[in-house]
Amino acid sequence: MAKSKQKGIEEPIPKDLFDILACPLCKADLEYAKGKKGLVCSGCGEKYPIKEGIPVLLPPKTK
Ligand SMILES: [Zn+2]
């Protein structure tokens, strides 16, 4: 079995912090998005980026 480059993926956010995170829009729990490059709300499905280990939980800009 060939190993992919994804073997080094770890939790980008400390678990203590991750546990208290909630969606600012609907207060539902957040989950890691695919590849753990971001977070996705389990409630409304809104996506939030993770920048330098810090989740950016700003409501999306309305255009
Ligand atoms: Zn939500």
Write out pLDDT tens, residues 37-51: 999 999 999 999 998
Domain boundaries, the chain: 11-55
CA distances from 9 to 22, 28, 58 (A): 22, 25, 25
What's the DSSP call for residue 53? T
Contacts (Cβ under 8 Å, ≥6 apart) of 5: none
Dist. CA 38 → ligand 1 center (Å): 14
The parts of the chain modelled with pLDDT lower than 70 are 1-9, 60-63
Give, as residue ranges, everything with CB less than 5 Å from ion ligand 1: 23, 25-26, 28, 41, 43-44, 46
Q: What is residue 41's predicted lDDT score, i.e. its pLDDT?
A: 96
Q: What is residue 49's predicted lDDT score, i.e. its pLDDT?
A: 93
Dist. CA 23 → ligand 1 center (Å): 5
Q: CATH for 11-55?
A: 2.20.25
